[in-house]
Amino acid sequence: MVDDSIVRGTTSKNLVKLVKDFGAKEVHVAVSSPPVKFPDFYGIDTPDQKDLIGSVKTEKEIKKYIGADSLTYLTLDRLLKAIDLPKVNLTTTCFTGKYPINIGNENLQKIKYK
């Protein structure tokens, strides 16, 4: 199964269950982005950082949570290579936590895996 991103994990969890309920013996999940770890304050409605599964769980814990047999994320470098656009033209904030302006984000990167 391929997904563009995993934000909270609930949709992926439901989809993996659905695929298995329809008879799949294994479900391997490939995500075409890096883990979403930081909120995006520029027009996309994302939850608080504590609600972003990539911010509070390891990839192994996410795989277990969604019920997948394997989980693979695309790295940021490979994502940038795949879309062939200059990084300067993109916002990668939700992956890196690097905001283009100071938004008082000192506390965002302090969240640790449970």
Q: What pLDDT digit, counting tens, does each position of 51-84 carry?
A: 999 999 999 999 999 999 999 999 999 999 999 9
What is the structure's pLDDT at 73?
Answer: 98
CATH of the domain at 16: 3.40.50.2020
Contacts of 87 (CB under 8 A, 6+ apart): 80
Q: Tell me the chain's radius of gyration from C-alpha atoms.
A: 15
Q: How confident is the model at residue 89 (pLDDT cuts 50, 70, 90)?
A: confident
- Rounded to the nearest integer, the mean pLDDT of the chain is 88
Q: State which residues form the domain around 38.
A: 2-110
Q: How many domains does the chain have?
A: 1
Using CA atoms, how far apart are residues 48 and 11, in angstroms rounded to an integer? Answer: 17
Q: Is the dihedral of CA 51, 30, 114, 11 positive or negative?
A: positive
